Amino acid sequence: MTVELHPVEGIGEITRGADLGAVIAQACAASPMGLREGDVLVVTQKIVSKAEGALELIDPDDPLSHKPLVERESRRILRRRGDLIISETKHGFVCANAGIDLSNVERGYAALLPDDSDRSAYRIRARIAALSGFTVGVIISDTFGRPWRRGVTDVAIGCAGIAAVVDLKGTADALGRELMVTEVCVADEIAAAADLVCGKARGVPVAIARGIDQSWLRRSSVRTEIVREPAEDLFR
Give the interface size with its own copies as a residue count (CB under 8 A).
73
Contact 117, 224 (CB under 8 A): no
Q: CB under 8 Å to 48, separation ≥6 — which residues?
A: 20, 54, 114, 117, 120, 124, 140, 158
Round to whole Å and give the CA distance between 198 and 194: 6
Task: Assess 104 for contact with its own copies (CB under 8 A).
Answer: yes
Which residue in 41, 52, 49, 38 sits closest to 8, CA to CA?
41
Residue in 186, 206, 217, 223 binding its own copies, rule: CB under 8 A: 186
Residue in 36, 79, 218, 219 binding its own copies, rule: CB under 8 A: 79
Task: Assess 55 for contact with its own copies (CB under 8 A).
Answer: no
Task: Assess 23 for contact with its own copies (CB under 8 A).
Answer: no
Residue in 62, 175, 215, 231 binding its own copies, rule: CB under 8 A: 175
Residue in 16, 83, 130, 171 binding its own copies, rule: CB under 8 A: 171
Residue in 10, 53, 203, 219 binding its own copies, rule: CB under 8 A: 203
User: Could you say which residues in the range 82-101 bind its own copies, by CB under 8 A?
Assistant: 86, 93-94, 101
Nearest distance from C-beta of residue 166 to its own copies, angstroms:
8
> Which sign, positive or negative, has the C-alpha torsion 147, 150, 156, 162?
negative
